[in-house]
Amino acid sequence: MAGNTFGNLFKLSTFGESHGAAIGGVLDGCPPGIELDLEEIQNELNRRKPGQSAIVTQRKEPDTVEFLSGIFEGKTTGTPIGFAIHNTNQKSGDYTHIKDSYRPSHADYVYDQKYGFRDYRGGGRSSARETASRVVAGAIAKQFLSGLKINAYVSQVGGLKMDKTYHELDFSLIESNPVRCPDPDMAAKMEDHIKDIRKEGDTIGGVISCVIQNVPIGLGEPVFDKLHAELGKAMLSINAVKGFEYGSGFKGVTMKGSAHNDAYNTDGTTKTNFSGGIQGGISNGMDIYFNVAFKPVATVIQPYETIDKEGNRVTTKGKGRHDPCVVPRAVPIVEAMAALVMADYFLLARAINS
Amino acid sequence: MAGNTFGNLFKLSTFGESHGAAIGGVLDGCPPGIELDLEEIQNELNRRKPGQSAIVTQRKEPDTVEFLSGIFEGKTTGTPIGFAIHNTNQKSGDYTHIKDSYRPSHADYVYDQKYGFRDYRGGGRSSARETASRVVAGAIAKQFLSGLKINAYVSQVGGLKMDKTYHELDFSLIESNPVRCPDPDMAAKMEDHIKDIRKEGDTIGGVISCVIQNVPIGLGEPVFDKLHAELGKAMLSINAVKGFEYGSGFKGVTMKGSAHNDAYNTDGTTKTNFSGGIQGGISNGMDIYFNVAFKPVATVIQPYETIDKEGNRVTTKGKGRHDPCVVPRAVPIVEAMAALVMADYFLLARAINS
Amino acid sequence: MAGNTFGNLFKLSTFGESHGAAIGGVLDGCPPGIELDLEEIQNELNRRKPGQSAIVTQRKEPDTVEFLSGIFEGKTTGTPIGFAIHNTNQKSGDYTHIKDSYRPSHADYVYDQKYGFRDYRGGGRSSARETASRVVAGAIAKQFLSGLKINAYVSQVGGLKMDKTYHELDFSLIESNPVRCPDPDMAAKMEDHIKDIRKEGDTIGGVISCVIQNVPIGLGEPVFDKLHAELGKAMLSINAVKGFEYGSGFKGVTMKGSAHNDAYNTDGTTKTNFSGGIQGGISNGMDIYFNVAFKPVATVIQPYETIDKEGNRVTTKGKGRHDPCVVPRAVPIVEAMAALVMADYFLLARAINS
Amino acid sequence: MAGNTFGNLFKLSTFGESHGAAIGGVLDGCPPGIELDLEEIQNELNRRKPGQSAIVTQRKEPDTVEFLSGIFEGKTTGTPIGFAIHNTNQKSGDYTHIKDSYRPSHADYVYDQKYGFRDYRGGGRSSARETASRVVAGAIAKQFLSGLKINAYVSQVGGLKMDKTYHELDFSLIESNPVRCPDPDMAAKMEDHIKDIRKEGDTIGGVISCVIQNVPIGLGEPVFDKLHAELGKAMLSINAVKGFEYGSGFKGVTMKGSAHNDAYNTDGTTKTNFSGGIQGGISNGMDIYFNVAFKPVATVIQPYETIDKEGNRVTTKGKGRHDPCVVPRAVPIVEAMAALVMADYFLLARAINS
């Protein structure tokens, strides 16, 4: 209720600050008998971890997940899956410069206001490090939903926007470059742009697009828990996200109904898919696709003016090793949250509609 | 769990199809002792009801709310507030043409697939009529949160986009025209455009912007239940919504961190507000503002081809009295859902952080 | 969250005070396509209603349920079932004597303390009238779970305790007498006893026993949501209940493990059933049976001393038409709550374990 | 939803099998700024741990809790408190005798039926070891609720029943003997009895009584979430519990209303307390007291007949080191669950009624 649990039936509760002993979670409601490929789960974590390429933060965090329960003889038992990722790169000393002042557009100020004090060592609970737990649980969700294909990729970095629809892309190229953009030419430009931004000590935003394929018909609940509403909440709960659109999205606003309506083929599929695979909040079996907007990372390696706890003006400068652009590492997070939503709604539909 | 409940502490459960006896809801968790202005609640309903102007559906539905419990001597008692809005305009005969075929981009097909059959009289539970219950509950939430100002307005209809920020607008003009756009010149253009669209028997999309002011610092939970994530889910749960963005939104993607960061004044307010009043998922006391994208209404009064239950091709035509553009009537719905979120998160913060 | 919702997937939210316009509820999560016998639902309500026999309150309340949504062509649609029972016997004048003083062992005092004021007309939300909504929803649950047999009956009134196990009883005799005790001799004694108590203007407690048969194996969750824990909560949530025991119950305390253990037959059934059909919180397919203790009704038609709002001593006397013993009318409530729990846990098991 | 989470606002999710790497939990919703005495938390765990006296299981499990998050500079931060208790006494070899057969009155059979297979090493998730996580969270709840006094004690072992009310007892004597019965004479008899039972290789049941003092008025919700209903569920969720009663309990059944009603003093307290500190589901400021019935432990060190997975008869014998009577070690568990309920309902009341 204080917001560290996601999902109703396939339910993840997470814990952990960036500079405590460990982060981790409890995944409850995963059905029994799912054979888990633990190496694949670690692979997903590796896609998110720092230091994986030249365009992400150069922090060294192994991010090795340890499973504590819920798995026996390689299979899920139906009991909660507890797991931990120990923090091995805690340098509290790095953060003394932020103990008494508030970094702009970080959560420092609101934490102090809301909780009376804060764990000032590196963002505490608002650190993006928390999302590693989501990636672990999402990787399990993916294996549970082995029939679905969930692919996210970077479609925009700053002003560089890919002008191809996902039908024109080869998803197998997503991992072929550090940006995770499946268009190699655009990926190269984005990579250069991110490097330039980093040289300036600055940061830049981006967009991640995600496509979910092979979705069964009938997932999603008609009113408050529409499938896209939950996907939207899932994405907006990721650090730095400022917007979500699915199907025709914001562009659909300018269309007329006669053009926007998706005419049926005789097998129930549709000729177009402006609906984005969801009608009335319920999956119709067509591809689900959506975009997620990420703002530029707030930590810049430039001098800036801010205030301290007493409201005095101070001038300081970002330190440490931060991402110049968050989207390359956020791709597996988007996929993980999408998988958690789909697993939860799959179970819900099985309960009520089977 | 089948998705007809919204909120955790300030919690609304709704029921009702467009062509049953009544729609309504149960609002649980409203604190006791709130003096309710029942006329003001009905006024909010009237803002949503059909037939209020020349540019909305001409159906005649009085939409009178009857309160059944939870109010005594003009005040909330702290017990659940039950209410009903009786359906008085049920013409089931109007809908026989859709009994056996599937209207494109409606929920007909997925309902039949998910539930095995459906109440085919007018959209059943997926009818936008359901949102009247939200408006009732939202109006109560507004009165509970009397210190907050929640103003939504139409900022775009089709390609007509207002280019003013909310600081340049006079919210008292929102209700001065049937479009609910506070820029009179733009409102006139939008009204003309909607009338043209209606003459074509077509429909058009739009954008509603919303601003929440006087927000206490500290509402929102840091991880999955970020304040903007819940606002996003609330908005995406409204019929026809395809996208949500807050603060800098999708445009913020192209900004650099050094420009996007909101520098502090010495009193903790910020000089700019690209954060949109929320940092790390928690309100910082600045204005919260966001945009909601609505697709064009799916019911067009033009002949179209579709399929029947057996998968045969049929040609049919939309009948009845429908909205050519949904956004003018959706303004009070956006405000209602925003108010429900704010009330819920206010109670949550009072529980944990007081 | 303010406690007017029961169940996770098969979920009932209720509203209504004894002296408002109506009581009622929203049942969400009932699967689609269940053919409902509406007359049977009303029959269940009639089992609970006042005035049905000489040993219950002689108030006249027709308690007719009106369904507002979620049912179409005689079947559940899968959407929320809204329903209302209008209050037709509101005599607010009857209750002016309790407006300013606190009836002992009623909720008057705590309501004023908790909510600041109360709807003093007849107990408000703490009136047992609220349980009528549970009976409606429970009757639907019974029809959904048509394979299960749920039988409750009165096994004790005051000191009169039936010494037969349920195996010795003929459940078809439960409705053969106004006490709802399937042992005719004991029923006659209990009836006489209740009549004597009423003549004294006094009240008496009792025990209801309940047996659930034909239960599938595997319902219930191992840790906090053990099947008997949820049954216990369900029963303890009924007005006037002071205790719950299942299987060997409080008597089992005196047994040795070697005698208490239920040895297996080769088909997985057990030779004895001290476990009460539940092991480790999960149904094992044997009969579930439990006892529910009800205190004597607090309203006595005798003079008594109490205090008013200012803490002054006042002498008053119960008025109105009250039950001398609550258990005969509580039998359908116990069955209804049992049915709601079983339906909810059936759906939950179907989600996770199918 | 699969039942490993307890509480709404003060919310505990647990994980872990007896023979996995660790058990533990995530406590979400604990308010910030609570100074935690970590040694005191470990002390509570020590009260539950095996090997602490001659009358409990002689297994050696240090049960040392490690906190992973949510605590900074000795205080709660308001973020989730993750913790783990590593399993150090895993001897999987001890359990091969139960891999293929079903121990009577254990959860072995229903687990195999529900989940398709089970972690057969020592009871898996149904092991009472899981309750250690509850004790950790409950100890935190106690420190949050430092004004409340929560005392549980053993009041019955087999046929040995203490005939004193709690008013006649000195709670400081509870920890003075291994039985945890505050009546030294009775404690000595109980201890002897348990030793005799153990010599027989048998087990015996018992009752734990609990008293909660200094409770604020107004905790509890009127309908489904009555305070005693949640306490009942909490207690019934503890392994081996078969019954719960509060206030006058099952004995109250035989009383007349005129005798059972608790007359008011002029300050709102009551002269008697048959209500058990709760009226209409809401605390009235008087002491809350209740009894919890525990069956005899199912594991007996005697030969017994049972069935294997194929339904063949097999004769086997309990091995290992088990408790002859569970109640002495269950005392801190009862207190912990009581504390979790009180903390949750305290926050809930603060949200809605403040």
Distance between CA atoms of B238 and A226, rounded to whole angstroms? 9
For residue B85, pLDDT beyond 90: yes
Buried b (16+ CB within 10 A) or exposed e, C299-329: bbbeebebbeeeeeeeeeebeeebbbbbbbb
Out of D32, D222, D348, closest to residue B351 by CB:
D348
pLDDT band for A127, please (50, 70, 90 cuts): confident
User: For residue range A215-264, what is the model confidence (pLDDT) as tens digits?
Assistant: 999 999 999 999 999 999 999 999 999 999 999 999 999 999 999 999 99
Structure confidence at residue B126 as a pLDDT band (50, 70, 90): confident
CB distance from B82 to chain C under 8 Å? Answer: yes
**∠ CA D72-D75-D78, rounded to 5°:** 85
Whether D333 has a pLDDT exceeding 80, the answer reads yes
What is the DSSP code (8-state) at residue D149? E
Please indicate whether, in this complex, the C-beta atoms of C104 and D158 are within 8 angstroms of each other: no
Q: Has domain A5-353 been given CATH number 3.40.50.300?
A: no
SS3 annotation, C122-153: CCHHHCHHHHHHHHHHHHHHHHHCCCCEEEEE
Which B residues 266-295 touch A at CB under 8 Å? 266-268, 270, 274-276, 279-284, 291, 293-295
Q: Which residues of C touch D203 (CB under 8 A)?
A: 256-258
Q: In whole angstroms, give the CA distance from residue D218 to residue C110.
A: 6
pLDDT digit string (tens) for C208-267? 999 999 999 999 998 999 999 999 999 999 999 999 999 999 999 999 999 999 999 999
**Mean pLDDT of chain A, nearest integer:** 94
Q: Do C80 and B13 touch (CB under 8 A)?
A: yes
- Nearest Cα of chain D lies from the Cα of C209 at a distance, in angstroms, of 13
Asked if pLDDT for residue D271 goes beyond 70, the answer is: yes
| Contact at CB, A119 and D29, closer than 8 angstroms | no
**pLDDT score recorded for residue D92:** 56
User: Which residues is C180 bridged to in the sheet?
Assistant: none
Q: How many angstroms separate the Cα of A220 from the Cα of each of A225, A263, B94, B341, C11?
A: 7, 21, 28, 21, 17
User: Could you tell me the two tokens for C90?
Assistant: 């509101």
Cβ neighbours of B350 in D, within 8 Å: 350-351, 354
D126 part of contact set with chain A, CB < 8 Å: no
pLDDT score recorded for residue C244: 98
> Concatenated DSSP letters for A142-155?
HHHTTT-EEEEEEE
Looking at chain A from residue 54 to 73, which residues have their Cβ under 8 Å from any Cβ of chain C? none
pLDDT(A94) > 90: no
Spell out which residues of chain D touch residue B29, defining contact as CB-CB under 8 Å: 352
What is the pLDDT, as a whole number, of residue A260?
97
Judged by DSSP in three states, B227 sits in: helix
**Residue matched to tokens 């003459």:** B199
What pLDDT was estimated at residue D206? 98
Three-state SS string over B139-172 comes to HHHHHHCCCCEEEEEEEEECCEECCCCHHHCCHH
pLDDT of residue A210: 98
pLDDT of residue D94: 61
Q: Averaged over C46-64, what is the pLDDT? A: 88
- Between helices B108-115 and A327-353, what is the axis angle to 10°? 60
Distance CA D97, CA C98 (A): 66
Report pLDDT digits (tens) over C279-301. 999 999 999 999 999 999 999 98
- What does the pLDDT look like over A35-71, one tens digit per residue? 999 999 999 999 999 889 888 888 888 899 999 999 9
Quote the pLDDT of residue B321.
75
**C-alpha–C-alpha distance, residues D91 and B314, integer Å:** 69
pLDDT of res. B122 = 72
Q: What is the rounded distance in angstroms from the CA atom of residue C102 to the CA atom of residue C104? A: 6
Of A3, A217, A225, the CB nearest to B224: A3
Maximum Cα–Cα distance across chain D:
69
A partners (3+ CB pairs within 8 A) are B, C, D
Cβ of residue D232 closer than 8 Å to a chain C Cβ: yes
> pLDDT tens-digit profile of D128-151?
899 999 999 999 999 999 999 999
Label residue A1 by pLDDT band (50, 70, 90). Answer: low
Distance between CA atoms of residues D276 and D213, nearest Å: 11
Model ipTM over 0.90: yes
Report CB contact under 8 Å: B354, D353.
Answer: no
Residues 28-57 of A with CB under 8 A from D: 28-29, 32-33
pLDDT digit string (tens) for D153-175?
Answer: 999 999 999 999 999 999 999 99
How many Cα atoms occupy the beta-carbon half-sphere of D250 within 13 Å?
19
Q: What is the pLDDT of residues D104-122, one digit of tens each?
A: 999 999 999 999 988 888 7
**pLDDT for the residue numbered D340:** 98
How many Å lie between the alpha carbon of B267 and the closest alpha carbon of chain D? 24
* Amino acid of residue B318: G
| pLDDT at residue B89 in the model | 67
The phi, psi pair for D307, rounded to 5°, reads -125, 155
Residue B91 has pLDDT above 80, yes or no: no
Cβ contact, residue pair A351, C348, below 8 Å: yes
Nearest residue in chain A measured CA to CA from C32? A353
d(C-alpha D204, C-alpha C260), whole Å:
9
- Closest to C177 (Cα-Cα) out of C165, C163, C195: C195
* pTM greater than 0.95 (yes/no): yes
CA distances from C132 to A10, C83, C85, C139, D296 (A): 34, 11, 8, 11, 39
**Among all chains, which residue has been given the structure tokens 């049954």?**
C231
Give residue B33's pLDDT: 96
Q: Using alpha carbons, select from B251, B248, B286, B254 the residue that is nearest to residue B270.
A: B286
As a dihedral over the C-alpha atoms of residue A263, residue A267, residue A273, residue A278, rounded to 10 degrees, the angle is 110
Residue scoring higher pLDDT (A82 or D56): A82
Q: What residues are paired with D213 via a beta bridge?
A: D149
Q: Does residue D183 or residue D50 have the better pLDDT? A: D183
Q: Is there a contact between C86 and B50 (Cβ–Cβ < 8 Å)?
A: no
Per-residue model confidence (pLDDT) at position C166: 98
Compute the mean pLDDT over every residue in chain B, rounded to the nearest whole number.
94
Domain boundaries, chain B: 5-353
Q: In what order do the strands lie in the sheet with A313-317?
A: A101-102, A303-308, A313-317
**Which chain A residue has the Cα nearest residue D32?**
A115
Select from A104, A246, A280 the Cβ nearest to the Cβ of B110: A280
D8 and A1: CB-CB below 8 Å?
yes
pLDDT at site A74: 95
- Do the Cβ atoms of C67 and B22 come closer than 8 Å? no
Classify burial at A350, counting beta carbons within 10 Å of its beta carbon; exposed 0-12, middle 13-18, buried 19 or more: buried
In the 8-state DSSP scheme, what is residue C287? P
pLDDT at A88: 85
* pLDDT band (50, 70, 90) for residue A122: confident
Residues 291-330 of C with CB under 8 A from D: 291, 293-300, 302, 304-307, 311-313
Q: What is the pLDDT of residues A61-86, one digit of tens each?
A: 889 999 999 999 999 999 999 999 99
Mean pLDDT of D169-196: 98
Query: What is the model's pLDDT at position B93?
Result: 63
Query: Which residues of chain C lie closer than 8 angstroms to D120, CB-CB?
Result: none
For residue D310, pLDDT beyond 70: yes
Per-residue pLDDT reduced to its tens digit, C293-330:
999 999 998 889 999 988 999 998 877 778 999 999 99
